[in-house]
Chains A and B, each alone.
Chain A
């Protein structure tokens, strides 16, 4: 099988805008799933609501497209009912960190054996570009017409603190690294969280002087700072620019996990 065999071609055309980063992340995830040697019969994709959450609809396995923010609660039920299933959740920054934030921290705390791939486009894409808990300070959204004034959530740091066994962040530019990180996540018992920073040219780029798709991908590439480099800069007393974010593997550990098939 190739990762292409996981696509539901009868569902095309998909709803994603031209240049949307979500497709890249779906590709990377399916590539990782394929490399794991997983089969359709025992793999389930679960999501909430959002552009990112549409992903399971384009994959030829069983899937649950649930309510906004609740994917992790549904996924917990699926995994505990049948721990033989490989459970992967697709989510967005709004779905996961805003309306579903509570489920996120508790799923990390329980360290339930599922893998979460979050497409963080820093905005509520599907509803037309309102500010999310990941909209950077100063960024324009339809609910922050003069710039976001609230601080952002660092989703990966949150997952580490709350207890996830594996946490990594990459971007839609870092296709190889992202695929590898997802694979490690799939392979790690317990809760794995992979944050993929993605471009949303329609609801984010357009309003934030990143009109072209390539502008946003370049933005992600140039604002991503390797974790090791960031740590080195901090050790040497250099200031890390506030708009840069770390990419890499934040944690890989072996806390007791829930739902792991012995």
Chain B
């Protein structure tokens, strides 16, 4: 069924179809519309879940961890400061291998305080052991939740995951969205079967002390699971396509890359703007294309190397900054690593921080910069403020 929906409400509908047993969240702009809608669904009996109005994000994710360990499918959503506050629990959830799925409605981190969009929040959680998927539009924001639960709960994976989508740009705008049926989602996503569950008849302890003789192997295990998640994202993404008609088997997605000289690399809603800019550039004879990264963790190194093998240069558009790093953006170095030895130039451009708009002409200007060999920089600085 096709409906015009606010991005946040599309995600709330996805969560309803996914049937979590426990939802626990603390309000924070621009995540609020999702959790308010879910609270309503629970209160109206449209979703048979417990909704816990906890007193902070720290408690929200801790309650999710507890509920997951007790065998329930759980959901939370947050952003920015809230995600930063969850940082300690993130590592515990991953370390205890609980398949919690969380929506991250991407927003900048303070100080200075900003409620507007960039990717600093989720990118900063890169090494926490959660997989991270980025959506381009409302439809993808919805659909990636189905995929995320399917992958997270698979017994070969058992890892938590983020579904990231851009605050306000996607969460507070209306788009046509195609809603799958409950039957389709029930068939695609069977009830959660936990592997280790808190059960008084068969007591286990989770999260205990690991001596130096054991600790490393726990981390190694998570990394192996990430590799398996990479394979499963492909097969489960294909199956999702067979079920609802939209294929998500690609960890990356190409747009007009076939004969491109400049390849842009981007994540999230920015990809829409880049595609429009590419169309205009192509109309005026500039051969540009886009590689969209859907899965930032696990990182699709081989897929990127393959997709970009024929281009002359790569411009990575980064809505994050790794302060003090050589390339400035966090994604660029990994793309460069994927193309190591190919002779292809890879540059990072930090842009769109704290909600600054990225326009088509910015993309064209970055193309010119990359041709001139200028990159690894903040793009579009207001010189008068420096």
Same complex: yes
Give A residues with C-beta under 8 Å from B.
49, 65, 67-69, 97-99, 101, 124, 126-128, 130-131, 133, 142-146, 150
Whether B27 contacts A143 by the Cβ 8 Å rule is yes
Q: Does B81 contact A (CB under 8 A)?
A: yes
- Do most interface residues of chain A lie in helix, strand or loop, or is the interface mixed? loop
The distance in angstroms between the C-alpha atoms of A133 and B36, with both chains bound, is 17
Whether A144 contacts B53 by the Cβ 8 Å rule is yes
Contact of A142 among B36, B55, B56, B113 (CB under 8 A): B36
In the complex, what's the smallest C-beta–C-beta distance from A239 to chain B, in angstroms?
29
The distance in angstroms between the C-alpha atoms of A98 and B1, with both chains bound, is 40
Whether B53 contacts A131 by the Cβ 8 Å rule is yes
User: Can you pick out 22 interface pairs between chain A and chain B where the beta carbons lie within 8 Å of each other?
Assistant: A49-B113, A67-B81, A68-B81, A98-B26, A99-B55, A99-B56, A99-B85, A124-B27, A126-B29, A127-B27, A127-B29, A128-B27, A128-B36, A130-B36, A131-B53, A142-B32, A143-B39, A144-B43, A144-B53, A145-B39, A145-B40, A145-B43
Whether B56 contacts A98 by the Cβ 8 Å rule is yes
| Closest B residue to A69 using CB positions | B56
Give B residues with C-beta under 8 Å from A.
26-29, 32, 35-36, 39-40, 43-44, 51, 53, 55-57, 81, 85, 110, 113
In the complex, what's the smallest C-beta–C-beta distance from A65 to chain B, in angstroms?
7
> Which of B36, B44, B113 is packed against the most chain A CB atoms within 10 Å?
B36
The distance in angstroms between the C-alpha atoms of A146 and B40, with both chains bound, is 9
Whether A65 contacts B40 by the Cβ 8 Å rule is no
Knowing A67-B81, A143-B53, say if A127 contacts B113 (CB, 8 Å). Answer: no
Whether A144 contacts B39 by the Cβ 8 Å rule is yes
Whether B43 contacts A98 by the Cβ 8 Å rule is no
Chain A to chain B: the 3 pairs with minimum beta-carbon distance, closest first: A98-B55, A99-B56, A142-B36
Whether A130 contacts B113 by the Cβ 8 Å rule is no
Q: Which residues of B contact A101 (CB under 8 A)?
A: 55
The distance in angstroms between the C-alpha atoms of A51 and B57, with both chains bound, is 19
The distance in angstroms between the C-alpha atoms of A48 and B85, with both chains bound, is 14
Q: Which residues of A contact B35 (CB under 8 A)?
A: 130, 143
In the complex, what's the smallest C-beta–C-beta distance from B165 to chain A, in angstroms?
19
Q: Which residues of B contact A150 (CB under 8 A)?
A: 53
| Closest B residue to A147 using CB positions | B43
> Which of B27, B85, B110, B113 is packed against the most chain A CB atoms within 10 Å?
B27
Name 5 extra pairs, CB < 8 A, besides A128-B36, A143-B51.
A49-B81, A99-B56, A130-B35, A142-B39, A144-B43
Q: Which residues of B contact A99 (CB under 8 A)?
A: 26, 55-57, 85
Q: Which residues of B contact A142 (CB under 8 A)?
A: 32, 36, 39
In the complex, what's the smallest C-beta–C-beta distance from A56 to chain B, in angstroms?
13
| Closest B residue to A142 using CB positions | B36
The distance in angstroms between the C-alpha atoms of A142 and B29, with both chains bound, is 14
Whether A128 contacts B113 by the Cβ 8 Å rule is no
The distance in angstroms between the C-alpha atoms of A20 and B31, with both chains bound, is 24
In the complex, what's the smallest C-beta–C-beta distance from A32 to chain B, in angstroms?
28
Q: Which residues of B contact A69 (CB under 8 A)?
A: 56
The distance in angstroms between the C-alpha atoms of A130 and B44, with both chains bound, is 17
The distance in angstroms between the C-alpha atoms of A143 and B35, with both chains bound, is 8
The distance in angstroms between the C-alpha atoms of A68 and B26, with both chains bound, is 12
In the complex, what's the smallest C-beta–C-beta distance from B354 to chain A, in angstroms?
16
The distance in angstroms between the C-alpha atoms of A133 and B55, with both chains bound, is 8
> Which of A49, A131, A143, A150 is packed against the most chain B CB atoms within 10 Å?
A143
Whether B27 contacts A130 by the Cβ 8 Å rule is yes
The distance in angstroms between the C-alpha atoms of A146 and B81, with both chains bound, is 29
The distance in angstroms between the C-alpha atoms of A97 and B32, with both chains bound, is 20
